[in-house]
Structure 1
């Protein structure tokens, strides 16, 4: 009997061990489910809607100031931020959703989301510049509105037929007056010059008189601060951060597009700005790790996916270098989004973004950061402005540069460029 028990025990141990080995082998050989470009697009669209809808829907209902929390860095008081944070949320969100909302209506789930947001945003824009509305936004005091009016201007430039032309005459006139009111203030001696410049470029684009000094100063200083190989310094001294993507490349390209269309600069100046942004986009694609992470370096890391605005704008313009396929960019950025938004809780209970990079990390927020600032994250979604049948969305998934490099695959070597 003891012998039988012993043999039975050995058999059970062998069975369990063999089962564990088989399970481990199966785990090792299990393939990651193949995700199509259409599934990636669905994920992007639903995520952008989740981020942007609290801002846009509340603004359309005149409840933005009532419902949006104002989270600020530890030790700081929220009252000063309330003068500027709401325009931050609106301007930045507008700039990110504009290309997507510019797509034509259709009966898909995504099309219905776009239409709902666009309809609400048009109503919200009217509310934002109506002095009698509870959500009338502050363009008139503080320096910060220079920045966030610039993102609103960029939204109008990116989607004029969707976001500017449908507005009524009163709203358009009010917007022009609010932008002109920004001229009573100045900002920092860095990328802020570009904010002032694009505000004037927007006025020029709608037939208003632009301030030539602000246009010229922005143009001259930003070009003087070019360091080479696709990098600008943010002011007289260079700092390693994401401001080339948050602001400088995308806004400079849009700025020069208006000026070249209006014959204020030659087209070669615009073309050079585009080439430099394309070169910078190569670095943006290479910083995406095989796991879908990227370095949390420099100022304003709480802007999250805005770090990929320049790369996204190159995609939107269909200007990617030949050695970078649209599919590898889509796959890389999608991996970042999954890593950042699926594995980090970046929203509060009501759906508003929280201060942090991966989840709630208020201690890493800069002294100028509040809840409204965080909606820069929408700027990472510009490729949604490409239609669903574009090769960016229809190509099979592909490995991006770092994933190729760290898995022993061939990948393109990188060299300095001159322009």
Structure 2
């Protein structure tokens, strides 16, 4: 990309300014134009079709890049804004004309169109004076007719309810017939999904992931922005402000968001809640910290190959990685990354753009943070910028077989093994066929039934200790710095049964080295290790795989297999080392259940399991 010079004074952490965001937006928009239909209504990007089909994907190409164009045009020079929006104006005319050969699928005839309608409505609202008010009456009438078809139509009981509500709000704002019940329903059910501490579930399930920020907080506030409805505004603002106190602790020192949850190919859409907080005066974060988090995410992905030679965003994490695809993922799906650009709605003289960048929490010092709603215990280390989440409360599905949710730990610097695809997996519209069940990474599971955390139940989350139960085991995690001590108690002895306990999967373009049993190390020093604390044993050679990890073609996972007799205790390490030696390791006392850290401090991993503790 052709980017402006960096500004190390204003942006000492990323070097990037608003000018970089504008330049990236311009290049992303320019890259999709060769793939647009003659009218611009359909944008057919190269790649495998989603489960909804090519016609749906083509609409997605229009709607999601229209959102980016709307944000970019907001404070652009008038002539530049007109150039950006011109193909979207002609595309709107053709897409909503039922007689056009380039018409869009209607929301009533294709489910995915119900999603994209919300992006169209948001973009139209943000370009009201620049585009909507200048459209011929016939185009406005066709657009209203197309959007109105969403009124009262069936949607899943999750963030989709807001697609109907946002569309209804836009229709109301242009004095068009609208489904007021869609708005009332979204407001009502969203309040029932709120779990406190700034966190929503997505539809009352146990799904906690990035949708909390780029959907559940974003759309309710945008509904208020479009409709002028101030009744729910204060509570939505308060919830987002509270959420951001946690969210800023989930950003790695290299700018990486946490690799966890579905739809990760949206990449820097993870910046949306930070910038939404600034736009709605709903953030506790200083402006310089907001920009540090958002610019860090944008640069993180672009520096690691998110755009291909043709300038298009690929379907993947860093570079193209097909195993991250889900049934609803098409070639244009990555362009919901456009949500990350909503900060361009802030004027150039806003403090988010003019304040000096401030360091992230993980750059200020080591921390441990418990997040109650998802059942996460978070640790960050300033020396390497790694943020780790020990997951004791988010399985997503009752079977506990989804690698994007059911692993025991996730980080900003590693990812679960995601392949090969499981042809027997449920691959519905909201499904995931990347089971990755053969890999031991961050698992505590029977050796003959890997990857399952069925019946996951959070038992305790306090200080530096978290405890949960799944299948027939209780697992406690105590964290400090780069270490996690993981203690496992089988419910009852099972002769002949064996358990697999895995550490973090480390991936790179070259195979990670294995300097000693239980230790794997990349060329850049990032090291993953598993040390057996009790009963004493040597871990086997690392589990190795190829082309199953979005962080690199070669991956290696330290792991341990032992009889299902408790307690079993291991020390899990993820951090940077400057040699083959690990830093001093923690110890576990099987009699007291205490973990002793290298600095002499202690945590009781057993007391939280039951009042009597669970020693040897």
User: Fold match, TM over 0.5?
Assistant: yes
5+ unaligned residues in a row in structure 1: which ranges? 1-31, 73-77, 107-111, 262-266, 409-419
Say if 2:200 and 2:208, in contact at 8 Å, map to a contact too.
no
The aligned runs of 1:197-212 (5 Å cut-off) are 197-212=165-180
Which aligned segments of 4 or more residues in structure 1 are displaced greater than 6 angstroms?
A: none
Say if 1:57 and 1:120, in contact at 8 Å, map to a contact too.
no
Deviation string 1:62-113 (CA, Å, 9 cap, x unpaired) is: 36647522434xxxxx68421311222222223344233122526xxxxx65
After TM superposition, give the deviation of residue 119 of structure 1 in Å: 3.0
After TM superposition, give the deviation of residue 246 of structure 1 in Å: 2.3
Aligned to 1:341: 302
In the alignment, does 2:53 pair up with 1:86?
no
d(CA) in 1 for partners of 2:132, 2:86: 12
After TM superposition, give the deviation of residue 204 of structure 1 in Å: 1.1
Say if 2:39 and 2:102, in contact at 8 Å, map to a contact too.
yes
In the alignment, does 2:257 pair up with 1:297?
no
Find the partner of 1:360 among 317, 320, 325.
320
d(CA) in 1 for partners of 2:72, 2:40: 24
d(CA) in 2 for partners of 1:290, 1:137: 42
SS in 2 for 1:339: helix
After TM superposition, give the deviation of residue 236 of structure 1 in Å: 1.8
d(CA) in 2 for partners of 1:70, 1:386: 34
After TM superposition, give the deviation of residue 252 of structure 1 in Å: 0.8
Structure having the higher helix fraction is 1
In the alignment, does 2:327 pair up with 1:327?
no
d(CA) in 1 for partners of 2:70, 2:241: 21
SS in 1 for 2:195: strand
d(CA) in 1 for partners of 2:41, 2:233: 37
d(CA) in 1 for partners of 2:231, 2:152: 33
Aligned to 1:237: 205
Find the partner of 2:18 among 41, 52, 59.
41
The aligned runs of 1:365-380 (5 Å cut-off) are 365-380=325-340
After TM superposition, give the deviation of residue 174 of structure 1 in Å: 0.6
TM-score by length of 2: 0.54
SS in 2 for 1:202: helix
Root mean square deviation of aligned Cα: 2.6
Say if 2:41 and 2:91, in contact at 8 Å, map to a contact too.
no
Change (3 A) 1:357 1:368: same
After TM superposition, give the deviation of residue 132 of structure 1 in Å: 4.8
Say if 2:267 and 2:337, in contact at 8 Å, map to a contact too.
yes
After TM superposition, give the deviation of residue 327 of structure 1 in Å: 1.3
Find the partner of 1:98 among 62, 70, 75.
70
d(CA) in 1 for partners of 2:257, 2:302: 14
Which one is further off, 204-213 or 181-190?
A: 181-190
After TM superposition, give the deviation of residue 158 of structure 1 in Å: 3.1
Change (3 A) 1:290 1:304: same
TM-score by length of 1: 0.78
Say if 1:326 and 1:391, in contact at 8 Å, map to a contact too.
yes
Say if 2:275 and 2:294, in contact at 8 Å, map to a contact too.
no
Deviation string 1:310-365 (CA, Å, 9 cap, x unpaired) is: 211112234432xx22112212222222221112x223443322211111111111
After TM superposition, give the deviation of residue 33 of structure 1 in Å: 7.5
Say if 1:86 and 1:372, in contact at 8 Å, map to a contact too.
yes
Aligned to 1:53: 30
Deviation string 1:221-279 (CA, Å, 9 cap, x unpaired) is: 11111111111111121212111222121111122344554xxxxx3422111221222
SS in 2 for 1:165: helix
Find the partner of 1:277 among 215, 240, 253.
240
Higher relative contact order (CA 8 A, sep 6+): 1
Say if 1:59 and 1:128, in contact at 8 Å, map to a contact too.
no
Aligned to 1:3: none
Change (3 A) 1:128 1:56: farther
d(CA) in 1 for partners of 2:349, 2:204: 43
In the alignment, does 2:99 pair up with 1:127?
no
Deviation string 1:277-315 (CA, Å, 9 cap, x unpaired) is: 222233332221112112110111111111221211112
After TM superposition, give the deviation of residue 61 of structure 1 in Å: 4.1
The aligned runs of 1:400-419 (5 Å cut-off) are 400-406=360-366, 407=382
Change (3 A) 1:291 1:219: same
d(CA) in 2 for partners of 1:87, 1:79: 14
